[in-house]
Structure 1
Amino acid sequence: MFRKIALGFVAIVVILLAVGLYLKPTTNGPLLDFITGKQLATPTEATIDGRFQLPAGFSIGVFAANINNARMMRVTSRGDIVVSSMRPGEVILLHADSNGDGASDGRTVLLTGLDQPHGLAIKDGYLYVAETGGIGRALFDAETRKIGVLEPVFSDLPPGGNHKTRTIDFGPGGWLYVTVGSTCNACIEEHPFRAAMLRMKPDGSDAEIFATGLRNTVGFDWQPSTGRLYGTDNGRDLLGDDIPHCEINLIEADQFYGWPFTFDDLVVDPDFGAGRETEIASSRAMVHGLGAHVAPMGIKFLDAATSPEGYGGKALVALHGSWNRSTLSGYKLVSLEFGEDGSVTEADFLTGFEKDEDVIGRPVDIVQGADGAIYVSDDYSGTIYKIGWGDIIVPGSTLATSASASNPLEGIGETELIAFRGTGLDLFESNSCAFCHDAKQAPEGVQVKQLKKLGRRYTIESLQAFLDAPSGPMPRPDLTDEERRALAIYLLSEY
């Protein structure tokens, strides 16, 4: 008996080693998390500075750490971040930064005991949560951070399978959309909701299939300028390193997107495409290929009103990273620019999660705060990163560490201060600054960026420098150096 047990143990070890060799993991590769559920530690500030690369003008830091299997996120009206902690079955509220260090001020566990919670949505005083087998909602007061009891809204989602996550969001007309991945790599599904996008009313009624043939669409978002719905889709495996693409699809009602019969630009699938000419001819091709096995997750169109020049309207996509490719691919954020002619231009946005086969994170979702800050979840290290630009404070950045803790106006005499304040107020009003920074004076449709606690972030000199070269979309005011100083002093004394 002991010999049989020993042989069995050896066989298990051999199988695991064989799988490991097949997947070709690295010491810090994704196989560690896949098999054991073990999380990496959040990277140190030195590692972040040495590894991560962003376009000029952006900076990154840790907003919150130790969120096991952090997946999808939503931003509340208070500026908090709701995040699904999938493996432990929790939904966590990360408190907004109010002390000026750029990091979350704390957290509240909103819900526990859930079955693989993933997608989140906030609508009309409710927090919606998608578990693997259904969707529930609870009354949620974002201002007080209080939540009620989670009650079922829709309980007919097929649970589990190879792709067990369910992503939700509200779209035009108040419909609640949800995606359900396939049970398999490639097969003919029996349940009609598999490999599909559904939509329903907020109370779960009038559920209908919206689109099909979507193998595993983990992320989707509406393009603000057109209202078009775009989604990421994970391509099938076991056809080699370089095919098929993971896809960006323009998802429209009653359309079929090819899986499992075709992929890419209507290439016939070698296992399931034969004899399916009719289905292939009627299917929609991808609008953009992201590369094979990169595993796209969240997609987020950036707000034109709060994003730096050149990024408003672009989409960011999180590439979770490959698990079965001979060399690793993905493990980064890319930006997508959608041309009027239907073209899509891709560029790296955030890289460094993988370097020379060493993996320190796997990005999942992307959200944007009211001030323009970009948040990225990483389920491999349990981290929420914050990406800032301009005057957005990021933990560990110059803005977070260099601003004086003392009064930035210290040393200015009272008479001089009164004079500067008066001049600064005149400049503030004559340049119509209140139109963008005062909700009471802002024209209809203008997204207000409130000014607060500027003294925690700026000295007179650093605020002067910002006014001389502001980040978009703020225009550069035509001021002399002395006028910029007066305006900086007014802003620091008033806000």
Structure 2
Amino acid sequence: MSRPLRLISLVVVVLLLAAAALLFSNLRKLEVTDWRLLFHAATGRGGPVAEDATVQHRLRVPAGWSITLYADALPMARFLRATSGGDLLLSQPRAGRILLLARDADGDGHPDARRTLLDGLDRPHGVDIAGDWLYVAEGSAIGRVGFDSATGRLTGEYHHILTGLPSGGNHWSRTVRMGPDGWLYVTLGSSCNACEEEHAWRASMLRLRPDGSDVQHHASGLRNSVGFDWAPWSGELYATDNGRDLLGDDFPPCELNRIVAGGFYGWPYVNGDGVPDPQFGTANPAKNALAIAPVHGFRAHTAPLGIVFVRNPDHVARLGHAALVALHGSWNRSTPDGYAVVLLQWQPDGTIRESNFLTGFESGGDIIGRPVDIAEAPDGTLYVSDDYAGAIYRITRQPAGNTTPLSVAPHPQQYGADPLDGIDAADIVAAQASGAALWQRFACADCHVPGQAIGNKLDTLHQRYDVAALADYFLFPTAPMPAFPLDTAERRALAIWLLARTQPAEAPAGGLHPEP
């Protein structure tokens, strides 16, 4: 490569990777809990390895409960649903599939088999079973297929019942549940950290008929409500919600909201219990006045995801009116927080008491797992998914004091010194032209400011990414970087182009800003 071209390319890379600096210029410095979390969340790679009953005792549950490792080697294990036959359904969005983990009939503490139910889907996330149907929430569509819960077998062809869900940007996951009223409910997160959305369905909850007809905008102002469930004693609908970022370690709180038809829950104008947002708090005073306050606040950045109300009679007798919530854990906090399953108990006076139920994923900054969802099986067994360790844990009732700890040992992915090894030289050369063209097409210079850096230093980029991992990051970026409409070839070319310029001898100052 000629010296002028090398210098021009170097400047372009510095500009491209400093884009977020302009966006953050009026905000508090971004704190990051652990860059491994961001790398894993952006690429689905590099998480720890789950190990059953290792020497270290890490995961803890209350006396009278026990926890074991039920299944491992499940990259990006997200949402769960237990079947009436005792099987467990699991979504793996990055793999594009829904797995069935066959019930533990032989009693060895692990699924008897693993079987792919559906494959080739677009980031499948939420799953639910209603009657003879299995429903799946994909990135831009809702689909269903005939399903026999007793045998765990499909009984028809998978097809979409609703298409055209807005996609792109941040918060790509979609969750679907069948309500007790016979309607399907779907949540869609915002496309950004804080903005006024162009599409009304972003940051909201939809309601529709089981066949996909009569779509209604049920609730709005929900920044990223990944989990929701109905209280069995009242029929009220509750949803978790992730508060916005970049307002410091301790604000705003994440939320639990009681959802009502037509309700507006504040985002992006109001945070928490009526506190105007510093960016958008004066943009629409009428909206501020309509905002419904959360019924419970979680600590900032703990990232509540899945929620399930306990329904098993033994659990209800022991816990009362209660729900379990998975706190995925912080990624942008100077001190880690979350990384737990918490118990919420409704008190006679209407207040909600929060206490720890499953802990030990984080200890002294060492993070070995991130809970995502909880499922309660017909026999009362509780299952917890972990998309960081790629695992599912099983929690059962045991005589008081008989608790089995479990340790998950970190084993982060590391890449070699040359992530371009094995790639044809012609591909690398072609990527230079493609990268420059992409820079021009998306007007990257409008945001990228040379000399300002945010995020991880590029001098170790080659150790943290290979071409495939970096291309995956462009597909699922985290705020403030938007998801540009790049096809597979363009993402690969951009990854090659970037990695070719971040070898130790020529890594520019600056940083990527991957988000979880």
Change (3 A) 1:119 1:2: farther
Kindly indicate whether residue 232 of structure 2 is the aligned counterpart of residue 232 of structure 1. Answer: no
Identity of aligned residues (%): 49
Match of 2:279 in 1: 271
Task: Determine the C-alpha separation between the residues in 2 that align with 1:246 and 1:110.
Answer: 34
Shift of 1:339: 2.0
Change (3 A) 1:340 1:16: farther
Change (3 A) 1:299 1:350: same
Secondary structure at the aligned position of 1:71 is classed as coil
Asked if the contact 1:181/1:217 (under 8 Å) is kept, the reply is yes
Q: Which amino acid counterpart does residue 140 of structure 2 have in structure 1?
A: G
Task: Determine the C-alpha separation between the residues in 1 that align with 2:56 and 2:388.
Answer: 19
The correspondence for 1:196, drawn from 204, 211, 214, is 204
Question: Taking CA–CA contacts closer than 8 Å with sequence separation of 6 or more, which of the two structures ends up with the larger relative contact order?
Answer: 2
Q: Which amino acid counterpart does residue 346 of structure 2 have in structure 1?
A: F
Kindly indicate whether residue 345 of structure 2 is the aligned counterpart of residue 337 of structure 1. Answer: yes
Match of 1:122 in 2: 129
Change (3 A) 1:26 1:182: closer
Match of 2:262 in 1: 254
Shift of 1:307: 1.5
Secondary structure at the aligned position of 2:324 is classed as strand
Shift of 1:54: 1.2
* Aligned residues: CA RMSD: 2.7
Task: Determine the C-alpha separation between the residues in 2 that align with 1:7 and 1:190.
Answer: 36
Match of 2:231 in 1: 223
- What does the per-residue CA deviation read over 1:238-266, in whole Å, with 9 as the maximum and x for residues that have no partner? 11111000000011111110111001110
Match of 1:462 in 2: none
Asked if the contact 2:33/2:335 (under 8 Å) is kept, the reply is no
- What does the per-residue CA deviation read over 1:294-332, in whole Å, with 9 as the maximum and x for residues that have no partner? 111000111141317432431110000111111111111
Asked if the contact 2:243/2:254 (under 8 Å) is kept, the reply is yes
Task: Determine the C-alpha separation between the residues in 1 that align with 2:95 and 2:404.
Answer: 29
Task: Determine the C-alpha separation between the residues in 2 that align with 1:268 and 1:232.
Answer: 20
Match of 1:108 in 2: 115
Residues 380-395 of structure 1: pairs in structure 2 closer than 5 A: 380-390=388-398
Asked if the contact 1:245/1:291 (under 8 Å) is kept, the reply is yes
Q: Which amino acid counterpart does residue 91 of structure 1 have in structure 2?
A: I
Kindly indicate whether residue 77 of structure 2 is the aligned counterpart of residue 70 of structure 1. Answer: yes
Task: Determine the C-alpha separation between the residues in 2 that align with 1:315 and 1:158.
Answer: 30
Task: Determine the C-alpha separation between the residues in 2 that align with 1:64 and 1:203.
Answer: 34
Task: Determine the C-alpha separation between the residues in 2 that align with 1:315 and 1:239.
Answer: 29
Change (3 A) 1:318 1:17: farther
Task: Determine the C-alpha separation between the residues in 2 that align with 1:14 and 1:111.
Answer: 42
Residues 351-362 of structure 1: pairs in structure 2 closer than 5 A: 351-362=359-370
Q: Which runs of 5+ in 1 are unaligned?
A: 399-495
Task: Determine the C-alpha separation between the residues in 2 that align with 1:99 and 1:13.
Answer: 57
Task: Determine the C-alpha separation between the residues in 1 that align with 2:132 and 2:250.
Answer: 45
Shift of 1:47: 4.3
Secondary structure at the aligned position of 2:49 is classed as coil
Task: Determine the C-alpha separation between the residues in 2 that align with 1:340 and 1:273.
Answer: 35
The correspondence for 1:323, drawn from 313, 323, 331, is 331
More deviation, 376-385/151-160: 151-160
Task: Determine the C-alpha separation between the residues in 2 that align with 1:92 and 1:6.
Answer: 48
Task: Determine the C-alpha separation between the residues in 2 that align with 1:11 and 1:52.
Answer: 46
Task: Determine the C-alpha separation between the residues in 2 that align with 1:350 and 1:395.
Answer: 12
Change (3 A) 1:139 1:351: same
Match of 1:31 in 2: 38
TM superposition outliers: structure 1 runs of 4+ over 6 Å: 13-19, 394-398
Q: Which amino acid counterpart does residue 129 of structure 2 have in structure 1?
A: I
Match of 2:86 in 1: 79
- What does the per-residue CA deviation read over 1:366-425, in whole Å, with 9 as the maximum and x for residues that have no partner? 011111111000011110110111389x99789xxxxxxxxxxxxxxxxxxxxxxxxxxx
The correspondence for 1:287, drawn from 272, 281, 295, is 295
Kindly indicate whether residue 99 of structure 2 is the aligned counterpart of residue 92 of structure 1. Answer: yes
More deviation, 300-309/268-277: 300-309
Task: Determine the C-alpha separation between the residues in 1 that align with 2:405 and 2:390.
Answer: 21
Q: Which amino acid counterpart does residue 197 of structure 1 have in structure 2?
A: M
Asked if the contact 1:98/1:105 (under 8 Å) is kept, the reply is yes
Task: Determine the C-alpha separation between the residues in 2 that align with 1:358 and 1:12.
Answer: 32
Shift of 1:278: 1.9
Match of 1:401 in 2: none
The correspondence for 2:191, drawn from 183, 187, 190, is 183
Asked if the contact 2:329/2:339 (under 8 Å) is kept, the reply is yes
Q: Which runs of 5+ in 2 are unaligned?
A: 21-28, 407-516
Kindly indicate whether residue 135 of structure 2 is the aligned counterpart of residue 144 of structure 1. Answer: no
Asked if the contact 2:85/2:152 (under 8 Å) is kept, the reply is no
Match of 2:431 in 1: none
Task: Determine the C-alpha separation between the residues in 2 that align with 1:375 and 1:396.
Answer: 15
Match of 2:321 in 1: 313
Task: Determine the C-alpha separation between the residues in 1 that align with 2:34 and 2:12.
Answer: 22
Task: Determine the C-alpha separation between the residues in 2 that align with 1:182 and 1:157.
Answer: 12
Q: Which amino acid counterpart does residue 333 of structure 1 have in structure 2?
A: V
Q: Which amino acid counterpart does residue 110 of structure 2 have in structure 1?
A: A
Task: Determine the C-alpha separation between the residues in 2 that align with 1:9 and 1:344.
Answer: 54
Secondary structure at the aligned position of 2:145 is classed as strand
Kindly indicate whether residue 61 of structure 2 is the aligned counterpart of residue 54 of structure 1. Answer: yes
Q: Which amino acid counterpart does residue 38 of structure 2 have in structure 1?
A: L
Change (3 A) 1:146 1:325: same
Kindly indicate whether residue 374 of structure 2 is the aligned counterpart of residue 366 of structure 1. Answer: yes
Asked if the contact 1:45/1:396 (under 8 Å) is kept, the reply is no
Shift of 1:57: 1.1
Asked if the contact 2:44/2:75 (under 8 Å) is kept, the reply is no
Change (3 A) 1:351 1:15: farther
The correspondence for 2:214, drawn from 206, 220, 229, is 206
Change (3 A) 1:26 1:139: same
Asked if the contact 1:374/1:386 (under 8 Å) is kept, the reply is yes
- Structure whose alpha-carbon radius of gyration is higher: 1
The correspondence for 2:173, drawn from 149, 161, 165, is 165
TM-score (norm 1): 0.75
Match of 1:131 in 2: 138
Asked if the contact 1:61/1:395 (under 8 Å) is kept, the reply is no
Task: Determine the C-alpha separation between the residues in 1 that align with 2:91 and 2:194.
Answer: 28
Asked if the contact 2:241/2:254 (under 8 Å) is kept, the reply is yes
Secondary structure at the aligned position of 1:137 is classed as strand
